[in-house]
Amino acid sequence: MVFLYNKEPIITICGWDEAVWQGYDSIVKELQRKMETKDKVVLTVECYPTVREHEIADGLRALDPNLVIFADEAAMEPERIQAKMQRYLTDDRVFGYMAPFTVDEFFIEGKVVQLRKRIQSVQKGLVLVIGFGASLLSSGDILVYTDLARWEIQLRYRSKEFGNWRANNQDEDILRKYKRGYFIEWRMADRLKRSLLHSIDYYLDTHIANEPKMTTKEALLDGLKQTVSRPFRLVPYFDPGVWGGYWLQEKIGLDPKQHPYAWGFDGVPEENSLYFQFSDIRMELPSINLVFFESVSLLGERVYARFGAEFPIRFDFLDTIGGQNLSLQVHPVTDYIHEAFGMRYTQDESYYILDAKPDATVFLGLKEGIHSEEMIEDLEKAQNGEISFPTEKYVNVFQAKKHDHFSIPAGTIHCSGRNAIVLEISATPYIFTFKLWDWDRVGLDGRPRPVHLRHGCLNVQWNRTTDWVKSHLISQVESTGEGDGWKEERTGLHEFEFIETRRHWFTALVQHHTNGSVNVLNLVEGEEAIVESPSGAFEPFVVHYAETFIVPASVGPYTIRPSERSGGKQLATIKAFVK
């Protein structure tokens, strides 16, 4: 059975149908209209790293520019950039340190001055300035911002179409390319975007090769504002992995891959996209733009005051049905992640079992009476290929049933076993997984997957043993209210974690309220539900089984009820918010 899971959710943007253009011909005509009364025009196209700059330059050739300047002409040489970044890149394959750079630090002042003079020397016609850092050379008479979602960037890394900015490393290990993006390039690109977006004239989407879409700044910003006035979904994506299963492929209707899907991401604003629908034109943009430019409306004042412009909650799927165990792992405690990597908070998480086979398990916490020195010695031997790590000698194994909820505060050793589909509810710093043991596997690239024993062993909380785990982390269900046709339960998370989760079982309408915090929900039981505003502030919003959706803090009161399609059966949602 394939569920009614919507893989391409759209957000209809009203009132701006005449302010969006599709295709280079249409975009050129609009820019010509904007330029027509001027003798000289500087058109600046600022680009997020990994945007196809030459495609855009070719697409705008019909504007007949007198001069084309690529911003890279003023940037440092790759070797000098590498040396400047190295302290933050580190020699580790996966982990760097959060860098404070701004883009101007990688441009040579003398070259910037020379290029500005060249731009000024043109007396008539069009000057096109394009690339990452183009706005440093000229703010332009017309300023266009070209954006890109991080998932698309990763796909371009993987295909080897692109390496990192100014790196000439298309063939480098994907993990190292991702690391440089995550810790350095995306951070400084986001700083530039946040400083620039309110000054642009147009916003350009080039996610699909040679199919550009452009809108005005006003339409873009109003679209973001419209989005945070109602529930919405992010555009999901799915990724194969060495331990992947077949639930996502079979139940959501994904195209088969050479390797089965391990992950499903439909609630990660740092990497997911949004689809804005303007009449018959669909534009793709990074969902993180909502976090940057509608921070308070989306997150709530209290959450924004605590986290800044960061979305602190993440929902994703881990699919091991017909697959394998995840790696045995641990996440860093808060002090460690701050000191070692420059992150402000850590990856506390939980496993909500969305579905499971009878033999599904979760590895969680340590057994009573084990000796840390002996366990570390066996982990080192396993890493050296001397033994297979005797996991069940040291780590608890618990049966996992549908709707069980396992809390996993940072420092707790854990992994999902095979034959479960996990809805992972966690804090957002999502790459900070220290693998301790990976079951003698290699990755899909044929290389051993990174294991970080030193980091991991410094973070394992050795006192989280069987009795403590049973008392604090496994299905700590507490009834918090009930009414006609509904029941609410607190299902976790542990008091060490800042995320609160509530499960609602219902056959009738349930009243909800954001209470000043963004809410992230998933329909974990039932075919279809309808989210509505008691005052009619937004149109009814339909969600299906396993779909994650976001209710911005600004929404306030909302209701969820079964649709007619549910046929009177009991439904359930799991809701996460900041305590």
Place 450 in a pLDDT band, splitting at 50, 70 and 90: confident
pLDDT at residue 444 is higher than 90: no
Taking the mean position of all CA atoms in its chain, how far away is CA 41? 38
How far is the C-alpha of 404 from the C-alpha of 406, rounded, in Å?
7
pLDDT class of 463 with cuts at 50, 70, 90: very high
Spell out the alpha helix ranges (H) of 342-452: 372-383, 391-394
**pLDDT band at residue 70, thresholds of 50, 70 and 90?**
very high
Do 421 and 356 contact (CB within 8 A), yes or no? yes
Nearest to 579 by CA among 498, 460, 483, 466: 498
Cα–Cα distance, 117 to 365 (Å, whole number): 64
| pLDDT of 303 | 98
CA-to-CA distance for 214 and 146, rounded, in angstroms? 9
User: Of 425, 40, 490, which is closest to residue 266 (Cα–Cα)?
Assistant: 425
pLDDT at site 447: 76
Render pLDDT for 358-417 as a digit per residue (tens, 0 to 9). Answer: 999 999 999 999 999 999 999 999 999 899 999 999 999 999 999 999 999 999 999 999
Strand order across the beta sheet in which 510-513 lies: 510-513, 557-562, 528-532, 541-544
The predicted structure's pLDDT at residue 91: 93
Domains and their CATH numbers in the chain: 11-227 (3.40.50), 239-472 (2.60.120.10), 478-578 (2.60.120.10)
Band of pLDDT at residue 432, cut at 50, 70 and 90 = very high
Tokens of 555: 């929404």
CA dihedral 310, 435, 154, 171 (to 10 degrees): 140
Token output for 86 = 């190295």
What is the spatial distance between Cα 525 and Cα 319, in angstroms, rounded to a whole number?
Answer: 17
Question: In angstroms, rounded to a whole number, what is the distance separating the alpha carbons of residues 409 and 406?
Answer: 10
**pLDDT value, residue 2:** 84
The model's confidence at residue 430, banded by pLDDT at 50, 70 and 90, is confident
Banded pLDDT at 516 (limits 50, 70, 90): very high
C-alpha torsion 540→543→544→547, nearest 10: 170
Q: What is the mean pLDDT of the chain?
A: 96
d(CA 380, CA 387): 9
Residue 492 pLDDT class (50, 70, 90 cuts):
confident
Distances (CA, A) of 155 to 124, 149, 158, 389: 40, 10, 5, 34
Q: Is 331 helix (H, G, I), strand (E, B) or coil?
A: coil
Percent of the chain clearing pLDDT 70 (strictly above)? 100
Q: Average pLDDT for residues 152-164, to the nearest whole number?
A: 97
Judge contact between 410 and 493, C-beta under 8 A.
no
Tell whether the model's pLDDT for residue 42 goes beyond 90.
yes
Residue 452's pLDDT is: 95
Contact in structure between 122 and 137 (CB atoms under 8 Å): no
Asked whether the predicted pLDDT for residue 258 surpasses 80, the reply is yes
Among 527, 486, 348, smallest CA distance to 425 is for 348
Q: How confident is the model at residue 480 (pLDDT cuts 50, 70, 90)?
A: very high
Q: What is the DSSP letter of 418?
A: S
Are 348 and 412 in contact by the 8 Å Cβ rule? The answer is: no
Q: Give the C-alpha separation, 428 to 25, whole Å.
A: 40
- Structure confidence at residue 118 (pLDDT): 97
What is the residue whose two structure tokens read 């024993």?
453
Q: Omega into 493 within 30° of 0, i.e. cis?
A: yes
pLDDT at 453: 96
Lowest-pLDDT choice from 149-163, 484-498, 523-537: 484-498
pLDDT at 443 over 80: no
- Secondary structure (H, E, C), 284-310: EEECHHHHHHCHHHHHCHHHHHHHCCC
* Strands 202-205, 213-216: pairing kind: antiparallel
CB-based burial, 365-404: b 16+ in 10 Å, e otherwise: bbeeeeeeeebbebbeebbeeeeebebeebbbebebeebb
- pLDDT score at 429: 82
